[in-house]
Structure 1
Amino acid sequence: MTAMSTLFEHNLAEHQQLFSNLGSLTGVVQQAGSLAGDALKAGGKLMFCGNGGSAADSQHLAAELTGRFIKDRRPLAAVALSTDTSALTCIGNDYSFDEVFARQVAGLGRAGDVLIGISTSGNSRNVIRAVEEARRAGVRVVGLLGRDGGVLAPLCDVAIVVPSTITARIQEAHILIGHTLCGLVEQQLGLA
Structure 2
Amino acid sequence: MCQKLVQLMQGKIWVVQNPRGFPQRMALDLRFQLHPSLGIVISEPGDFSEQLHHNSLFNGLHVLLADDDDVNRAVTQKLLQKLGCTVTSVSSGFECLSAFSPSGPPHKVVLLDLHLPDLDGFEVAIRIRRLRSRSSWPSIIAMTSNASEDVWERIKQTGINGVVQKPILLQGIINELRRVLLLQANKTVL
State TM-score, norm by structure 2: 0.44
Q: Which has the higher strand share?
A: 2
Q: Which of the pair has more CA radius of gyration?
A: 2
TM-score (normalised: structure 1): 0.43
Of structures 1 and 2, the one scoring higher in RCO (CA 8 A, sep 6+) is: 1
